[in-house]
Structure 1
Amino acid sequence: MDITTFQTFLAAAATGSFSGAAQRVNASPSSVTERIKQLEYRLGTRLFIRDKRGCQLTPAGEKFMAPARQAVRAWEVARHEVSLPDRFERSLSFGGQYFLWDRLLLGWLDDVRASIPDLALRVTAGAWARLNRDLAEGELDMIVVHDPVFRRDISAERLFEDQLVLVSAGDPTNWKEDFVRIDWGRSLGLEIASRLGIAPETGLVLDLGQRSARWLIANMKSGYMPEYLVAPLLQAGDLSIIEDAPSFDFPAYVCWRDDMDAELAAEVVLSFQENAPELS
């Protein structure tokens, strides 16, 4: 059976619609329908219940999720490992949030390659939502994010503590008029809106990671940023903290799949811990 069939099944389960799955796997909706139909025929059971709102997994579909993820992950690992030189005995697919790379993960990448020389790495940067999804679907083995999705088949450990602080590049006394919403995850977005009690008037939501700070500076605006990320900008005077505004806990987590090799997971997590910043 073509591995794309399993990928299509997982995409339909994740998006809740065949049209959503078609966009994710770069296929036509009719192709998705045919793939699912053939899969159900071979398994001898229905995997989805479809209606006008989309599709929902049947009990059989729920049971098929784990084998489908394992099949996709086994294929990705095999495809990666067969092309590796003999000196690499293990491999890891890793993803980190965009804004964590410059000040944290690039240094970790150099260190882990030196400390675990037999480890082949495939690394990517992404937004928190995509990284959580790719980890759940088996496309990644491990991620570092600030807004993890906790699941039964995913282990997670706090990597370091941070805070979201309100910073301004303009007049601190006028920060409310200049406030721009910056997306740091769903739960924090709701909490910030509730605590501040204001509606942003700019008509703009930023999800640019580190570039959000550059935009605030260029446009003399205010918004919430991770303190660790903007520390150099605070020291340089490009940004200032609004002292009477609430701050929000913003810990970073390293998360990995439970079906990952336990010894390798422990080694890589340790390398993260050794590179984690110590924040006051």
Structure 2
Amino acid sequence: MDITAFQTFLAAAATGSFSGASQRVNASPSSVTERIKQLEHRLGTKLFIRDKRGCQLTPAGEKFMGPARQAVRAWEVARYEVSLPERFERSLSFGGQYFLWDRLLLGWLDDVREAAPDLALRVTAGAWARLNRDLAEGILDMIVVHDPIFRRDISAERLFEDQLILVTAGDPARWREDFVRVDWGRSLGLEIAARLGLRPESGLVLDLGQRSARWLITNGKSGYMPEYLVKPLLESGKLTTIENAPSFEFPAYVCWREDVDPDLAKEVVESLKRRSPAP
């Protein structure tokens, strides 16, 4: 079983091009081409149709996605678990959006380590797009994000309710002139712009998580931020809410792969709920 070839196949399928796959797996485009060619030879079928725009999965390639993900995940789990001390009987790869760690997930991490000393954890922070991708490709077992990608092989549950609110660190009367778009997902940016009649006049999009709030404060700008995240900044007066501005639902979800042990998934979800803000 050639795990490198499987990883290269999944990268090409995710990016839609061999050149994109080469960047993701840190290999030359010619190496990617050769790996896919050898994999197709061993399977006895074509996995991709290539043209000037990139590559598309064939029907056989679509069928191979599931087994390839399972193989890569099995390898990652095996490589990780064989290096663990004997006291760890279970393991979980977990990811959360950057801005959720300070106020939520760091405390949860302390809780779960104390409650489940037999559970080995590998945790990471990232942007929603990368976390969703890593979950789909089997690199992560469970994630907490505000913009999940719903799939048949991934379970999802609302963790807590939140909303995006318009805040400013400058003059509330000038919030339109000071507005900067903060990226919170695929569709919310378009919805916010349409509801408020805004144009991207600043030429800037922030995707910095909690650091976006710091930037707004430092530069006296306005933008949409999660209420849970900026509540302490509103209470301290560093940010001000723009009255009568529309708010937008922004719930957080916990998502996990269906091949995660059901008892472990339930245990972790319940521990996350205990740490989450009350509705």
Same structural fold, with TM-score higher than 0.5 when normalized by the shorter chain: yes
Q: Which deviates the most, 196-205 or 105-114?
A: 196-205
1:212-237 CA distance string (max 9 Å, x none): 00000000000000000000000000
Alignment of 1:58-69 (within 5 A): 58-69=58-69
Name 1:120's counterpart in structure 2.
Answer: 120
Name 1:204's counterpart in structure 2.
Answer: 204
For the pair 1:188 / 2:182, whether they are aligned, the reply is no
Structure 1 unmatched runs, 5+: none
Name 1:260's counterpart in structure 2.
Answer: 260
Letter in 2 for 1:262: P
Q: CA deviation at 1:269?
A: 0.7
Alignment of 1:15-26 (within 5 A): 15-26=15-26
Name 2:55's counterpart in structure 1.
Answer: 55
1:5-28 CA distance string (max 9 Å, x none): 100000000000000000000000
TM-score (norm 1): 0.99
Name 1:168's counterpart in structure 2.
Answer: 168
Q: CA deviation at 1:63?
A: 0.5
SS at the partner of 1:264?
helix
User: Number of residue pairs matched?
Assistant: 279
1:137-194 CA distance string (max 9 Å, x none): 0000000000000011000000000010000000001000000000000111111111
* Alpha-carbon separation, structure 2, partners of 1:238 and 1:97: 23
* Alpha-carbon separation, structure 2, partners of 1:190 and 1:117: 44
Alignment of 1:88-237 (within 5 A): 88-237=88-237
SS at the partner of 2:68?
helix
1:99-126 CA distance string (max 9 Å, x none): 0000000000000111111100000000
* Alpha-carbon separation, structure 2, partners of 1:71 and 1:9: 12
Q: Which deviates the most, 108-117 or 124-133?
A: 108-117
**RMSD (CA atoms):** 0.6
SS at the partner of 2:209?
coil
Name 2:271's counterpart in structure 1.
Answer: 271
Identity, % of aligned pairs?
84
Q: CA deviation at 1:2?
A: 2.4
* Alpha-carbon separation, structure 2, partners of 1:180 and 1:104: 26
Give the ranges of 4+ consecutive aligned residues of structure 1 lying more than 4 Å apart after TM superposition: none
Structure 2 unmatched runs, 5+: none
Q: CA deviation at 1:200?
A: 3.0
* Alpha-carbon separation, structure 2, partners of 1:177 and 1:222: 9
* Alpha-carbon separation, structure 2, partners of 1:193 and 1:246: 11
Q: CA deviation at 1:202?
A: 1.4
For the pair 1:8 / 2:18, whether they are aligned, the reply is no
